[in-house]
Amino acid sequence: MRLLRQLLIGLVMLLALAWIALAIYAYWPGEPEVPARQLATAADHFVSVDGMALRYRTWGERDPGRPNLLLIHGFANSLQSFRLLAPMLAEHFHVVTVDAPGFGLSAKPAEHDYGNASQAKAIADFAAALGLERYVVGGHSMGGTLAVYVAASDPHVTGLVLMNPGIISTGVPAVTRYLFWPLPRVMARMFGSRAFREDFLKRSFLDPSIVTPQVMDAVMLAPRSAGYLDGMASMMGQYRSGDEPAMASRVRVPTLIVWGMQDRSKLPGEQQQLQRLIPGSRLVEVPDSGHYVQEEQPAAVAAALIAEAPAWR
């Protein structure tokens, strides 16, 4: 009995030490954070939406004869993930790419509601701030999830593009609902690590050589920017899956689903299941691509969007 008690005391002490170590890691001072506008380039623009400065870029002329196309990136990424696709669409669309709240060089307020519905509202408000009275909304991964919420709720949306979206399998681990102090900040610190982020990204590509040092420089702007740790920790503490399939079934605009077939994060046949959820949607399967289909096969994605453009005018 005495030995068991000593073992339990030892275990509690080890757990306490591990917890202290996690807290030290989470709150250990890092590199000084830099105001987002100091990290921006001449191609970047900012607009205030719901009190938050959101970064965006544009390609192609704004013209009544071509659709407005608003693209939303995936989790822990930024508008840089459309750097290859957007220029290919510039002759057919007025393309706008945006950093969602909490990502890239957009504002990262710790008090913001980072749930899907709130994030989608911010995106719709962003479109309104830019005066996009009619627009196609598209997204990759998490951005596809937000795009579904926007398309199902904003009457100004005329079309939807989904690139390996988080609808059926969301990519949100069940453990996130059990995160408590200091674990959300530990995860934020991990996603702020270049080595961790690079490994995480490369595992999602069929061709990991696409993740170049220049790509990583762009991805890592977010952790360098003001408010990153507090904002990302808040987001991690709120990160949950909603009822994405039910939301997708509410979409009533012409929808294009582009699917990288070598995506290891998705279930077999998930793309057909998603297509059945959205009435009248069109599915384009891209065989030689992993999760980041718009980066691995941008020409194939661009061709699919251009072919769909007449349905969105």
Query: What domains are defined for the chain?
Result: 39-166+243-312 (3.40.50.1820)
DSSP 117-171: HHHHHHHHHHHHHTT-SSEEEEEETHHHHHHHHHHHH-TTEEEEEEES-SSSS--
Q: What is the pLDDT of residue 184?
A: 84
> Residue 71: how many CB atoms within 10 A of its CB?
28
Is the pTM higher than 0.85? The answer reads yes
Cα Rg of the chain (Å, integer): 20
pLDDT tens-digit profile, the chain (313 residues): 677 676 677 666 776 676 676 656 566 777 778 999 999 999 999 999 999 999 999 999 999 889 999 999 999 999 999 999 999 999 999 999 999 999 999 999 999 999 999 999 999 999 999 999 999 999 999 999 999 999 999 999 999 999 999 999 876 555 566 667 778 888 889 999 999 999 999 999 999 999 999 999 999 999 999 999 999 999 988 877 678 999 999 999 999 999 999 999 999 999 999 999 999 999 999 999 999 999 999 999 999 999 999 999 8
296-311 pLDDT per residue, tens: 999 999 999 999 999 9
